[in-house]
Structure 1
Amino acid sequence: MRQPADHPPRPPGRRRRPAPQRLLAGFLGTTGALLGCVALLRLTDHPWLLPSLGGSCVILFGMARGVMAQPRSFLGGHLLATLVGLAFRAGHLGFGGPVELWAAAAVGAALTAMTATRTIHSPAGANPLVVFAEQAGPGFLVAPLLPGLAVLFGAAFLVNNLARPWGAGPWPRFRKASPRRRAVPDSAANPGGKRT
């Protein structure tokens, strides 16, 4: 949609500021989601998962239209990175060696796996470190990871699908992203006004 001639075009890369209602919804959604996760984590022995989930809130509520906020990346990234962390921790327990080397390699392998499966979710990169720090076993997937992800998903679904300007919805978005708009307006690219 073209802007009126008397209104200068917005420079490429600049976006509108979010509405105050959207900022408040993101704040309340993040706070509520993390309080729900805190309640769940208190029932387990794994409090250090919270920073990873907090990073996910930034993406789910602050960048809800982005690729990393979609279920494939959010859920897939967390699950895959955690599985890689658990596998590398089992390797460390079986073969020994410096724990730092195993933990660093686990993060590298998690990134590789997420990239190969197109499930990159940056906060999930911390999950292998959490697995090592908390000496977690396979039960880590059942509690606290899956309940934590379910709480965040539910909160993001509710908040992002609120009526505009509160929500960013529709979320999640299952359709392909629309083609990028041209950075240069037609009038600037074709100063003579002739059609090509």
Structure 2
Amino acid sequence: MALPASKAPARPPLPVVIRATLCGSVALVLLVAVGGLLDEPVLIPPLAASAALVFAAPALPLAQPRSVIGGQAVSAIVGFLTLAVAGGSTWAAAVAGGLAIGAMALTRTAHSPAAATAVIVVVAQPPAVTFLPLLLLATVLITGVGFLADRVGGPGRGGSGAAPYPTHWW
């Protein structure tokens, strides 16, 4: 008896996988380096997920700069507002994640990793005055590396036939 054919997407060509892996690693290491220079943590887990979208699925709406930068900013603000109103409990963190989803939908900045940023804000309670600018810097760096990586070797991931990144800026 034969197994049914997989409905999973086709595996990308090896050069595309290698490029996404290298570029994603460069972007995340860059965040760690900037954090070291500033003596502040810049790499948080949702940013690794943001990098995964930018480098492994660059044509998706969730990977575009408006969604990466805007979605992370909107969700962090939702997290800080929730923290101010409801405190730092895990219940409040769950509410912040849900509210972030709605806020991103209303602002047309849907970016699934950003909902986790709202949760992290409530749980970790970082100072907004440092967290928000560092988050903005990190998202600009990730999308900037995505833009530069796409231009190396020509548009569309080095001539791979993929749409250039970004497909739209804002």
Deviations 1:111-136, CA, capped at 9 Å, x for gaps: 11111222110111111122123211
Aligned residues: 158
Percent identity at matched positions? 32
CA shift digits 1:35-87 (9 cap, x unpaired) = 0111223335446x521110011100111011101112111110100010011
Please give the alpha-carbon distance, in whole angstroms, between the structure 2 residues aligned to 1:151 and 1:72: 13
Matches within 5 A, 1:81-100: 81-93=75-87, 99-100=89-90
Seen in structure 2, the aligned counterparts of structure 1 residues 85 and 19 have a Cα distance that, compared at 3 Å, is: same
Which sections of structure 2, spanning at least 5 residues, go unmatched? Answer: none
Aligned match for 2:132, one of 141, 149, 153:
141
What value does the CA root-mean-square deviation take over the aligned residues?
2.4
Tell me the secondary structure at the aligned position of residue 44 of structure 2.
Answer: helix
Q: Is the 8 A contact 2:69 2:140 kept in 1?
A: no
**1:1-80 alignment, distance < 5 Å:** 16-42=10-36, 43-46=38-41, 49-80=43-74
Contact (CA 8 Å) 2:82, 2:92: kept in 1 or not? Answer: yes
TM norm structure 1: 0.71
1:101–1:17: structure 2 CA closer, same or farther, 3 Å change rule?
closer
TM-score, normalising length from structure 2?
Answer: 0.81
What's 2:111 paired with? 121
For residue 165 of structure 2, what is the amino acid of its counterpart? W
Partners of 1:92 and 1:122 lie apart in 2 by 23
Q: In structure 1, how many angstroms separate the alpha carbons of the residues matched to 2:82 and 2:10?
A: 44
Please identify runs of 4+ aligned residues in structure 1 that moved more than 6 A.
Answer: none
